[in-house]
Structure 1
């Protein structure tokens, strides 16, 4: 029905654009539109499942990139490279992590990689004690 379609659109918006908890949303549905509850719950379940899949893919990508950087640093620069990883491990932006993976293939020294980290991570703090100005 038209009302059901409207409610589905509204639910999709509410779940993606607000900070309403899942429990609050379910309680509201139970009291506001009990006759539509089953259909709307199926819509919510699909929305939550899609959000979970998206979040899982993002986390998997991030972990894969961090693992590649860790392996590259260890392989190219040994223990000194592993120490740089401490600073990078706090990074959660896949685009920045991808730039650092690329940097591992482009630099010749650990100091060059540390400078790249400073630039990519847009942070003027020293990377693992090395002042690179």
Structure 2
């Protein structure tokens, strides 16, 4: 359970930043060097290295250094566990909202019935 939570925490932390999500979108199209990514996102090389490192720790990105160039590509890790967690919580909240809708509908019916009985 702890490993599962740690993995979710690492993944969601990596995905919580707009730049890192943008990097993943970019890498979905093609591999890119850290230099190319830094230029595309208008940031320093050091800043981009930190973002890529976080994505790499989460298993979302793989880097390979050839000579002086470090190339990034999407990692092999899928997000099935994360998707399952999200789906579980989506179902929970959906059930809660359905129950709330039912309560509101009952209250509305009672209110209309009370309004009709007062008019008579």
TM-score normalised by structure 2 residue count: 0.42
Structure number with higher relative contact order (C-alpha < 8 Å, ≥ 6 residues apart)? 2
Q: Rg bigger for which structure?
A: 2
| Structure with more helix by fraction | 1
TM-score normalised by structure 1 residue count: 0.39
| Structure with more strand by fraction | 2
